[in-house]
Copies of this chain bind each other. A is one copy, B any other.
C-alpha cells in the first residue's frame, strides 16, 4: 500500500473531467460519450490503473469474498475441498480466503472473528476437533452472516450442511468385498461414542444383511483401531490368528486400513488375493501406497463445490427471500487402485 497507487482522481485530473465521469466511463455506462470512454480507458491502461477493492467493498457493503475455516490445510482432504470451493467461487465472482484453526477451539474463535471483521460475504466452516461449544458461530449466524458447514458439522446451528454419506459408503465398501467373493468380512470400527463409527457400522451390517451373511459380533473390533496403525495391526493379527479367521476386512479409515494391511502382509497373505481390504478414506492414496488397494473416498472436491454453491445461493438471495437450510449427503466414490483380482 505504500506503493504507488493510481486512482480515479488521477485519471480525472489528467483528463480535466470529474471522477464520477471516469468511474462511469470505466464501467461502460450508457450515458458517457464514446470519446470520453475511449480517452478514459486508454489513459487507465497507460497508467496501469486497477480499481481499489478495499474502497469498493466499503462503498458497496459487499466484499465478494468467501471465508473458509478448516482444521488443517495439510490434510489432503481439506486441500481438495478448497479447490472445489475455489472452483465454484471464482466462477461466481468471489474470492476465497482460507484460515486454519489447527484443530484448536481458540484459533477457530479468532478465525471466525477475523473473517467477520474482514466482512466476508459468507463463511464455510469445518469444525475443529476441540470445538464443543458454538457461541462464536451462533452469534455470527444470528447476526445474519450466511454460513454453511461441511464434513465436521454441528446440529447447534440451523444452517445448511454438506456431509459424507457414511452409511452409503460403508454399505458400498462392504458390498464390494462381498461381490469379490469374500464371505467372512471383519470390520475395524471406531469408538462407540462417535456417531460416525455407529453409522459406518450400520452400513456394514446392512450390506451383510442384504446378502444374507450373518452378522458376527466377534468380527468387529473397536478400541483404538481408528487411531493408530499399531493398534489396528494388533487387532487384525488377533482376528487372523483366531479360530475362524476372516477372509477380508472393511476398515473405518486409512489408519486402520494400513494397520490391517501390515498385519496381513506379515502373515504372508497376498492382498487382495488371500485377503481383501477396503478402507474408508479421506486421503488420496497416491503411489506411495502399494497397490492394489481399495478405498471408499470422501469426495473432497465435490464437497467444496456443493458447500460453495449453497453459500452463494444464500448470499445472493434477495433480502426478503427465505432460504431453507438443507443438509446434503454426498455420495462417496469407490476407488480401486492397482488391478482388482477377483477371487
Residues of B within 8 A of A82 (CB): 73
Taking Cβ atoms with an 8 Å cutoff, the residues of A that contact B are: 1-5, 48, 50-55, 57-58, 61-63, 73-74, 76, 79-80, 82-83, 86, 95, 97-100, 113-114, 116-119, 121, 139-140, 143-146, 229, 258, 285-289, 315, 319
Partner of A73, one of B61, B83, B99, B140: B83
Contact B288 A117 (CB under 8 A): no
Which residues of chain B come closer than 8 Å to A114, judged between CB atoms? 95
Q: Is the CB of B52 within 8 A of A117?
A: yes
**A70 vs chain B, min Cβ distance (A):** 11
Docked-complex contact A54 and B119, CB < 8 angstroms:
yes
* Contact B119–A1 (Cβ < 8 Å): yes
A19 to chain B, nearest CB (A): 16
Instruction: Please determine whether B61 and A113 come into contact, CB atoms closer than 8 angstroms.
Output: no
Report whether B117 and A3 are in contact in the complex, using a CB–CB cutoff of 8 Å: no
Of the candidates A79, A83, A121, the one having the most CB atoms from chain B within 10 angstroms of its own CB is A79
Q: Is the CB of B117 within 8 A of A53?
A: yes
CB nearest neighbor in B for A80: B74
A140 nearest in chain B by CB position: B3
Contacts of A73 in B (CB 8 A): 73, 79, 82-83
Task: Contact check, B62 vs A117: say whether CB atoms are below 8 A apart.
Answer: no
Q: In the assembled complex, how far is the CB of residue A95 from the closest CB belonging to chain B, in whole angstroms?
A: 6
Choose among B54, B146, B229 the residue that contacts A54 (Cβ–Cβ < 8 A): B54
Chain B residue nearest to A145 (CB atoms) is: B3
Contact between chains at B83 and A117 (CB < 8 Å): no
Question: With contacts A53-B118, A74-B80, A97-B97 known, what are 5 further pairs, Cβ within 8 A?
Answer: A3-B143, A54-B118, A55-B58, A73-B79, A74-B83
Contact of A58 among B54, B79, B229 (CB under 8 A): B54
Complex CA–CA separation, A3 to B15 (angstroms): 39
Can you spell out 30 A-B residue pairs with CB atoms less than 8 angstroms apart?
A1-B57, A1-B62, A1-B119, A2-B121, A2-B144, A3-B143, A3-B144, A3-B145, A48-B139, A48-B143, A50-B113, A50-B117, A52-B58, A53-B117, A53-B119, A54-B54, A54-B57, A54-B58, A54-B118, A58-B58, A73-B73, A74-B79, A74-B80, A74-B83, A83-B100, A95-B99, A95-B118, A229-B287, A258-B287, A285-B288
A297 to B52, CA, bound (A): 41
Which chain B residues border A140 with CB–CB below 8 Å?
Answer: 3
Least Cβ distance of A107 to chain B in Å? 10
Nearest first, the 6 A-B pairs at minimum CB distance are A3-B144, A74-B79, A288-B288, A53-B117, A1-B61, A3-B145
Residues of chain B lying within 8 A (CB to CB) of residue A76: 74
Nearest residue, chain B, Cβ from A120: B1
Q: Name the residue among A76, A117, A139 with the largest chain B CB count within 10 angstroms.
A: A117
A286 to B254 Cα, complex, angstroms: 12
Contact B48 A2 (CB under 8 A): no
